[in-house]
Structures are given as C-alpha cells and as structure tokens.
Amino acid sequence: MLGGPTSITVRSGPDCAVYDSGNGYVYITDEGSSPHYYGNVSVVDGTTVVGTVNVGLGSNLAALCAAYDSGNGYVYVPNEGSRNVSVISGTTLVGTVKLTSAEPYYPVYDSRNGYVYVTNQVSNNVSVISGTAVLTSVNVGSFPTYAAYDGGNGYVYVSNANSANVSVISGTSVLTSVNVGEGSTVPVYDSGSGYVYVPNRQSSNVSVISGTTLVGTVTVGGDPEFAAYDSGNGYVYVPNYQTDNVSVISGRTLVGAVNVGAGPQFTTYDSGNGYVYVSNANSANVSVISGTTLVGTVEVGTAPGIAAYDGGNGYVYVPNAGSANVSAIPTAPVSGPSPSSKFLGLPAPEGYAILGAIVVIVIVGLLLGLQRIRRRHVPPGTPTPPPASGGDANPEAPPPPSTGAT
C-alpha cells in the first residue's frame, strides 16, 4: 500500500537526499538562494529536522549532492561555488577539504579503498579524498559530471559529458577511457550482471560497459537521465525527460517502457517493497513502478529532485527544490514475490503454480502408497468390519459352525 507523504520544511532549494545507514539520518543538500547562495544541509530523523549544517558559499551553486562514507561514518558535500568539500559527522561540520580544482560537483564513495572521489567539471579532473585530506587529483576527460563505484571490480567510472567517454579509475590511476554516447550522465552499477550503464542525454541511448569494454548500446527515450538498479528483479530503470517515460533494461535488452509524469529525471530503488520511485520534475509528483507496471502516483512538492530510501524506517525522502520542503513517503513491504520476479526460471506466478501442482501430485502419491502398504499388512483371519450403513441395526448372532453331529 502507498501512503500519503509527510511534508518537512527545510531551507530553500533542496536538491538531493542521502541516507546515512550508520546513524539513520537523511541529509538534504540545498543550493541556497540568490544572490549569495549560502549552502545548507538539513539533517532529518524520521520526519523531524534535527540539525542544519552550513556548508559552502559562493557565486554559484553551493551544495548539489552528497555521499555517505560507511567506513568513517562521514557525509561529504561538494560546494561548487567555493571550491571545497564539507565533511559532516552527525549534525556537526568536522572539516572542510580545500581543493585547487574548480567547481567540485558530484561525490562517490569507494568502499574497497575507503576513498571519496569528487568530479571537478571545469578542471577536468577528479579529486581523491581520504578522511579530510586530498590525496591527489586524477586527470580525466572534458567536463566530468557524475561518477559511480563498481563493487565487483573496484573501479570508479566517471562520465565526461563533453568528450563522449567514460574514464575508468582504479585507486588513483586512470586505466582507460571507454567511448560512449553524447552528453553522458550518471552511471549506475548492476551488481547482478556486473555491467555499468551510462545514459547519454543527447544520443537517447544507454551505453553498457563491462570492466573496460563497451559491450552494448540500448536505445531508450529522449533525454535519459538519473537511472537506478533494482536488485530484486535485476532491471535497470532509465527516466527519459523528454518523452515522459521510463525505459526498463535487463542485461543488454530493453524489456519495457512505463509512462510516468511530466519530466522524469531521477529514479530511486526501495529494497523494502521492491518498488522504483521516479521524480517527475514538471508534474510535482512521484511515479511508483513495480517491474514494468505503474502501480501508483504520489503527489509531492514542486520540482522533486534526487530521492533517497531510508532502510531503517522505510520512508522514501523526496526533496522538492521549488517548494523548499521534503516529502517523506511511507512505504510498506509487499508480501510474496513481486510481479516481475522469477521462480523455477519462469515468471513468478507460473513458477509458483507449477510448484503447487508438483506438491499436490507428491502428496497424493504418498497417500496412495501408504494405503497399499496397510492392505499388504492386514493379519489373516481379521474379521471384516460391519458395513457403515444399510444393515440391520441389531443383527442376530450367526449360528455356531456345524460339527457334523445329528
């Protein structure tokens, strides 16, 4: 069941929500307001704001998004206008990492080496941070925007929007660059297949990468953006901003397209109920998808952004940049398999129906077998029981057997 959201008032321009599984807080970044763009991060516990942390300031966007480091428990917030990264623990600013690079934009955490990678759009490089110190900067392609960590091989994939390629980083070194489509956006890692999917906005397709090799290209709708991987059914969901739908990919194959609201930009997977939540920027609502089916629409604030699923309380938090609030959507687990799951190599309904038929056949066979065994072990001379019905209620005793005497 889908519940109505709770509205949480925050500072102006909230864009991105990030869940900290260590303390259970959700961090809402905002870009501030004109003319100074003083950035803030609102810290939410349940449906209550428990703190506000002042971060970067500058003549441009202050705080776009954040990354949670499960190794040290910190949250890292790049501040585009002030060339630094704010480091938060709980509700406290514990450090500011100064960068020489221009316009830090998007962070990603590498759980294998404990580093945080921050893309720098104007400097065409990536800052590598350990704790509260910069280790080095890695040169990549032109205008790096987003990045993703591949937990299978330990690589970090960086989308270079203006050079139509993806830089593959291992530790502090670039291994190679993989050519993709035009205007690449947020990569997403599929832990089931091991692929990395890169939506290309200007090419209206998705590049599929395995390791350091391009293994496929999937045509999707217009202007694909922030995709999400559903670990329950193995699908990748790609919102298409121009065509108002979501492309559903399995492996290297397009398996469906789901019509949603106006201007879908961001997708978030809820591992509790198996649903995918799609923020529709132009219709002030969130579309809810199960498998390849639209199962509901939730009204939220204006211009919903990057949502986050809180595995502790089951809420999905949707920041609304246009209305300066966050919609906390309560969710409930779905009993039984999801409509798109599989069993016995078949869609779940057919697979479970076959299992039920097999169980019935086995039970009937066991009962027949037990009946035959009992018949074979009846002792000789055992009197036959009287009939259950149709006989005399008080039958006379049978005459004694004849002895032959007259």
* pLDDT at position 156: 98
Q: How far is CA 238 from CA 4, 6, 31, 231, in A?
A: 25, 27, 25, 15
> Would you give the DSSP letter of residue 274?
-
Confidence of residue 398 (pLDDT cuts 50, 70, 90): low
DSSP 8-state code for residue 394: S
For residue 35, is the peptide bond before it cis, meaning its omega torsion is within 30 degrees of 0? yes
pLDDT of 342 higher than 50: no
- pLDDT band at residue 138, thresholds of 50, 70 and 90? very high
Bridge partners for 280 per DSSP: 264, 285
The reported pLDDT for the residue numbered 102 is 78
What digits encode the pLDDT tens for the residues 191-245? 999 999 999 999 999 999 999 999 999 999 999 999 999 999 999 999 999 999 9
Per-residue confidence band for 363, with pLDDT thresholds at 50, 70 and 90: confident
Token output for 41: 């991060």
The length of the chain is 406
User: What is the residue-averaged pLDDT of the chain?
Assistant: 87
- Domain chopping of the chain, boundaries: 6-341, 342-368
Average pLDDT over residues 248-265: 98
Q: What percent of the chain has pLDDT over 90?
A: 71
Residue type, 317: Y
- Residue pLDDT, tens place only, 35-79: 445 678 999 999 999 999 988 754 445 567 999 999 999 999 998
Residues 6 or more apart in contact with residue 115 via CB below 8 angstroms: 109, 128, 129, 130, 135, 171
Q: State pLDDT tens for residues 314-330.
A: 999 999 999 999 999 99
Measure the CA angle with vertex 152, ends 22 and 179; round to 5°.
115
Helix (H) or strand (E) holding 367: helix 348-376
**The 3-state secondary structure of 167-197, one letter per residue:** EEEECCEEEEEEECCCCECCCEECCCCCCEE
CA–CA gap between residue 256 and residue 291 (Å, rounded): 9
CA distance 161 to 200: 9
Place 101 in a pLDDT band, splitting at 50, 70 and 90. Answer: confident
**Cβ–Cβ under 8 Å, residues 318 and 302:** no
Tokens of 128: 């590598």
The predicted-structure confidence for 293-317, as pLDDT tens digits, reads as follows 999 999 999 999 999 999 999 999 9
What pLDDT does residue 3 have?
66
pTM of this prediction?
Answer: 0.81
Confidence class of residue 393 from pLDDT cuts 50, 70 and 90?
very low
365 CB-contact burial (10 Å; exposed 0-12 / middle 13-18 / buried 19+): exposed
Residues 6+ apart with CB under 8 A from 181: 164, 198, 200, 202, 203, 205, 207, 217
Residue 251 has a pLDDT of 97
> Is residue 396 predicted with pLDDT exceeding 70?
no
Indicate if the pLDDT at residue 332 is higher than 80.
no
User: How confident is the model at residue 40, as a pLDDT?
Assistant: 86
Q: What is the pLDDT of residue 335?
A: 39
Q: Which CATH architecture describes the domain 6-341?
A: 7 Propeller (2.130)
